[in-house]
Structure 1
Amino acid sequence: MSSSPALPSRSTWPAWLLLVLAAVAGLGWWWSAGRPVNLPDAPSTRIACVSYAPYRLSGETPFDPHAFISPARIDEDLRALSQRFDCVRTYSQGQGLSAVPAIAQRYGMKVLMGIWLDRDARANAREIAQGIANARAHPQALRGVIVGNEVLLRGELSPKALTADIRQVRAAIPASVPVSYADVWENWLRYPHMAAAVDYLTIHILPYWEDAPVSPEHAVRHVARVYAQMQRAFPGKRVMIGETGWPSEGRPRRAAVPSVVNEARYLREFLAYAATVKMPYNVIEAFDQPWKRTQEGTVGGYWGIFDAQAKPKFPMRGPVTEVPRWWLGWLA
C-alpha cells in the first residue's frame, strides 16, 4: 500500500508562511510601482527653457580639467532638445560649452548663457573674456547672460567682487542682451543691493532643497508664495525663476519624496502656474547628471526630464507610471 505524500511539519509552516507573505508583498510593491497614476496635464508639451549640462555619460564631470564636449555632441543634444524646449540655460563657457549659442541658433533656440565664477580669479577672467566674446558674436541667440551661479551661496566671492564682474560684462556686451546673476531666492533678500547690478533677478526655488522641505502636493503653492514675495521685495525689477524642479530618485527629506510621479506632478503643476502669471522661467534640468551623486547624494543625479540615456522619464500629458514594465522587475 503506497504511503501518502508527507505534509510539511508544523515546525516548517512559519517559514512557508513567511515566504508566501514576502512574495505577496513583493508582488504588491511591483504592482503599485507599475500602476498608472492620473495627473493633471501640462498646458503644453513645450517648455520655455531648461538647464543644459552635457555631462550625462559615465565618468563625465565638469570637475575634470581635461573634459571637452565636442560640437557634434552638443549639436546632437540641442537638435533633440529643440523638439521640446525653446531655450537652454548653460552655466559655463569652458569644456566646449562656448559652442552652445551658435549651435542653438541652427535650431531656432535661445540661450541663457552662463559665465561660471568661483574663487579662482584667473579662471574667472578667462570665463568672463570668453563670455563677452560669445555675447558679442551671437547676441541674437541670447535671452540673457547670467554672470555667476550661486557663488554667494558657496561663499566663493564677496558681493563687492561679484558686482564688479557683473558690471564688467554689462559694460562690454550689447545693450540688447540683459545681464543677471543667479542664486537661491533667500540670498537676494540677504544681499538686496545686488539687484542694482543686474537687469533682472534670477532666483532659484527648489522646494525639495528648502530648509523646511515642501511636499510635492504643496510645492507649487510654495513657489507662488516665494515668487510673489520677491516681486514685492524688488518692485519694478523683473524676476525670473532660473531653477526649479523635482528629483525622480533619492532620499526623502521629510515630506519631500523623490519619485518619477512626483517629478511629473511638480513639473506639470508648475508649468500650469507659470502660464497663469506669464513669468519667465527655466526648469532644472534636461538630462540626469550622474556626477552630481558624489556631491549631493543619489538625489543629485536625478533631476533630469530625460534620463542619462536621453530617454524621457514621463509624458507631459496622460497617466504616469513610476516603473514602466514593472513585471520585468518581478520576474527578475
Structure 2
Amino acid sequence: MKTASYILAAAATLTGVDAYWKGFNVQATRADGQCKTQADWERDFNAMKGLPGGFSSMRVYASSDCNTLANAVPAAINTGGQILASVWTQDEGHFEREKQALLSATQQHGTGWLVAVTVGSEDLYRKETSASRLAEQIYDVRGMLTTVNGGSSIQVGHVDTWTAWVDGANKAVIQACDFVGTDGYPYFQNTQANNIDQGYNLFWESTQAVRDVVNRVKPGAWVWITETGWPTAGPTENQAVPSLTNAQQYWSSVACSAFGSGHTFWYTLQDFSASPSFGVLDANYNPKYNLAC
C-alpha cells in the first residue's frame, strides 16, 4: 500500500489543479441525523468523483465520533479516495479516544488513504484551549504516528480561522505544525464591505495574511485552505447575501482559483437543514449550482 508521502511526491510531479489535494469538508451524519455507515461514506466519495473535474479527497472533523474513521477509511480504500483526518482535542478523555481511533485506522489499513492529520479545528478562535497546550497535542499526535509503518512521513497540523493565525499569541501552534490549515469566509466578515463582488479579494487577502505570518514564524511551512464557501440560503451578514447566484459566483472565482494554487478543502459537500447552508449538493446528491471550472 502506498504511503501518503508517496502520494504527495507523485502529486508534486503534476501540473495545474492535479498538483494539489482538492476536496470537500464532509460531515459524519446523514440527513436523518444518524451516523454514516461505510456505504454512506462510499456514496460520498463516489459523488465527489462524479463532479466536474473529479474530487477524491475529503476532510472529516473527528476520528472516533460516529465511528468516522472505522467506516470512512474502508470506504476511501474501496473507492480510491483519501482523507484529511482530524483529531478532536476537547476534552482530554475525548482527545485520547480520538488518538486511539486514528492509531487503530493506521495500524489496520496503513497510511495510503491518509492525506494528513489536523489536530483540532478552530480551537484558538473559540478560545477553548491555550496555544501551548494545543502545540503539545500536535507533538503528541505526531509522535504517536511515528510508531506506525510509514507514519513518520505523515504531516500533522492544525486548522483555525485566519484571524487566529495572525494573532501573535498563537505562534507556538504555527511552530508545532507541519502545515497550517486556514478557514476564511468573506460572508462572515460583516464589519466591512463583504458583498459577493468583494468576496474574491477578501478571501485572498486573508489567505495571504496567514501566509505572511507563517512565513515569518516557520518558513517553508505550507498554508492549506481548509474551509471556505458561500451559502445558498440563510441570513444576510452585512452586505453578504446568501443565494444560489452568489454561491455560484464565489465558486467560479474563489474555488476555481484555489484548487489550482494549493491544497484546498471546500466547505461543504452537504449540510442538509443547516442555516446558513453552504452545501454544494442537495439531499439527493445533485449539485445546487454549476461546479465546473
Shift of 1:131: 1.6
Report the TM-score when normalising by structure 2.
Answer: 0.81
Equivalent residue in structure 1 for 2:187, among 192, 208, 220:
208
Deviations 1:102-124 (A, max 9, x none): 31122222211111222x22112
Deviant stretches of 4+, over 6 Å? none
Structure 1 counterpart SS, 2:226: strand
User: Are residues 1:282 and 2:265 paired?
Assistant: yes
TM-superposed deviation, 1:129: 1.6
Say which of 101, 104, 119 aligns to 2:73.
Answer: 101
Q: Is the 8 A contact 1:56 1:308 kept in 2?
A: no
Q: 1:205 to 1:132 in 2, by over 3 A?
A: same
- Aligned equivalent of 1:172, options 138, 144, 152: 144
Cα distance 1:317–1:81, how it changes in 2: closer, same or farther (>3 A)? closer
Say if 2:214 is the partner of 1:234.
yes
**Which residue of 98, 111, 133 maps to 2:104?**
133
| Matched residue, 1:155 | 127
- Distance in structure 2 (CA, Å) of the matches to 1:168 and 1:225: 33
Distance 1:135 1:223, change over 3 A: farther
1:81 to 44, 48, 68: 48
Match of 1:219 in 2: 199
CA RMSD of aligned residues (A): 2.2
Question: d(CA) in 1 for partners of 2:130 and 2:247?
Answer: 35
1-structure distance, mates of 2:48, 2:211: 31
C-alpha contact 1:219 1:266 (8 A) present in aligned 2: yes
User: Which residue among 201, 225, 231 is the counterpart of 1:247?
Assistant: 231
Distance in 2 (CA, whole Å) between partners of 1:192 and 1:160 is 9
Q: Which has the larger radius of gyration?
A: 1
**CA distance, structure 2, for counterparts of residue 49 and residue 261 of structure 1:** 22
Measure how far apart 1:211 and its partner are. Answer: 4.5
Give the C-alpha shift of residue 82 in structure 1: 2.4
8 Å CA contact 2:190–2:237 kept in 1: the answer is: no
Q: Could you tell which deviates more after superposition, 309-318 or 92-101?
A: 309-318
Determine the C-alpha separation between the residues in 2 that align with 1:275 and 1:48. Answer: 6
Check 1:86–1:70 CA distance in 2 against 1; reply closer, same or farther (3 A cut).
closer
Preserved CA contact (<8 Å) 1:220 1:273? no
Contact 2:27-2:271 within 8 A present in 1 as well: no
> 1:208-251, CA deviations, whole angstroms, 9 ceiling, x for partnerless residues?
11252521111111111122222221212210111010100011
Unaligned 5+ runs, structure 2: 1-16, 146-150
1:286-325 Cα distance to aligned partner (Å, 9 max, x none): 01242xx4xxxx31xx11010233221012349xxxxxxx
Distance change >3 Å, CA 289–CA 157, structure 1 → 2: farther
Deviation at 1:269, TM superposition (A): 0.6
- Report deviation, 1:282: 0.9
Fraction of identical pairs, as percent: 22
Q: Give distance in 1, aligned partners of 2:292 and 2:121.
A: 32
**What CA distance in whole angstroms lies between the structure 2 residues aligned with 1:158 and 1:171?**
20
Does the Cα contact within 8 Å between 1:132 and 1:172 map onto a contact in 2? yes
Cα distance in structure 1, aligned partners of 2:121 and 2:160: 6
Within 5 Å, give how 1:234-313 maps onto structure 2: 234-235=214-215, 236=219, 237-275=221-259, 278-290=261-273, 293=274, 298-299=275-276, 302-313=277-288
Does 1:121 find its partner at 2:121? no
**Deviation larger for 249-258 or 213-222:** 213-222
Q: Distance in 2 between matches of 1:275 and 1:134?
A: 28
